[in-house]
């Protein structure tokens, strides 16, 4: 590496957005506030101190590699030691709105058994779609009967108040971890200049 490449790398990294939770939160609104936490029954309230790591899942296993998303969340939380910094969230259409009905609920079980508590948010399909619309690139697949049969396989990293910072394939934590680390500055892999 020559001096020019080294210095350009330093400057590029320095220009990356360096959000802190306290600096970013404005107002009390969050795009998910119309969804309900199925464990509490209440509308979602965001934690001002924690970023959001969001996956979009159906309760049913729509794809054979759905489990990879949960692995990705687990690895991100573990490798960044982010229990106090990141809030894992799963947006999930109602079971009544999914194509498999009640016959397959394994993704709920996976979220409940996560070592890092994953908040499951659900609600009317219109509210779900409105929430997902705030996530660039997120989508639900709807079958001819109007039931949800699939979903985006990306995960979304948001500010505490729900502004999207980045997204990536949920199970590709090898790539995702350093991207998130640049933001939260946990110095994984020594990528953050503030850690040098």
Partner 1 sequence: MAETHSTSKTFFHAAHFMMYATMFTMIAQNLASMAVTGVPIGLLDPVGMLANMHIPSVEGIAALGEAGGALMDAAANGTWVTDSFFIDPHAAIGHAGHGAAAVATEPVLTDSAREILGM
Point out which residues bind partner 1 (CB under 8 A).
36, 38-39, 41, 59, 61, 64-68, 70-72, 74, 94-97, 102, 105-106, 108-110, 112-115, 122-123, 171, 174
Provide, rounded to whole angstroms, the least separation between the CB of residue 13 and partner 1.
25
Dihedral over alpha carbons 74, 75, 78, 81 (to 10 degrees): -110
Provide, rounded to whole angstroms, the least separation between the CB of residue 169 and partner 1.
11
Q: Which is nearer to partner 1, 24 or 61 (CB)?
A: 61
Q: Which is nearer to partner 1, 138 or 170 (CB)?
A: 170
The helix/strand/coil state of 102 is helix
Provide, rounded to whole angstroms, the least separation between the CB of residue 118 and partner 1.
12
Cβ atoms of residues 99 and 59 within 8 Å: no
Cβ atoms of residues 188 and 181 within 8 Å: yes
Q: Which is nearer to partner 1, 26 or 64 (CB)?
A: 64
Q: Which is nearer to partner 1, 60 or 159 (CB)?
A: 60
Provide, rounded to whole angstroms, the least separation between the CB of residue 97 and partner 1.
7
Provide, rounded to whole angstroms, the least separation between the CB of residue 123 and partner 1.
7
Provide, rounded to whole angstroms, the least separation between the CB of residue 87 and partner 1.
19
Q: Which is nearer to partner 1, 19 or 116 (CB)?
A: 116
Q: Which is nearer to partner 1, 16 or 109 (CB)?
A: 109
* 109, two tokens: 């079980």
Nearest 5°: phi and psi at 90? -120, 120
Cβ atoms of residues 123 and 35 within 8 Å: yes
* 156, two tokens: 């979304």
Q: Could you identify the residue written with the tokens 């490449």?
A: 5
* CA distances in angstroms from 137 to 5, 81, 89, 134, 152, listed in the order given: 33, 27, 17, 9, 8
Query: Cα(140)–Cα(133) distance, rounded to whole angstroms?
Result: 10
């Amino acid at each position: 590496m020559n001096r020019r490449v080294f210095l350009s790398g330093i400057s590029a990294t320095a220009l990356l957005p360096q959000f802190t939770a306290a600096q970013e939160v404005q107002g009390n609104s969050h795009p998910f506030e119309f969804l309900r936490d199925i464990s509490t029954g209440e509308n979602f309230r965001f934690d001002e101190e924690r970023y959001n790591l969001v996956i979009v899942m159906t309760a049913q296993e729509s794809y054979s590699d759905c489990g990879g998303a949960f692995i990705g969340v687990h690895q991100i939380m573990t490798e960044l030691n982010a229990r106090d910094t990141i809030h894992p969230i799963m947006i999930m259409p109602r079971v009544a709105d999914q194509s498999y009905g009640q016959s397959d609920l394994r993704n709920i079980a996976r979220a409940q058994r996560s070592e890092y508590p994953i908040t499951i948010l659900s609600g009317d399909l219109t509210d779900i779609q409105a929430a997902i619309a705030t996530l660039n690139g997120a989508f639900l697949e709807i079958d001819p009967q109007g039931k949800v049969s699939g979903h985006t396989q990306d995960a979304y990293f948001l500010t505490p108040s729900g502004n999207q910072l980045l997204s990536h394939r949920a199970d590709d934590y090898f790539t995702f971890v350093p991207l998130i680390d640049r933001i939260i500055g946990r110095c994984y892999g020594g990528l953050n200049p503030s850690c040098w």
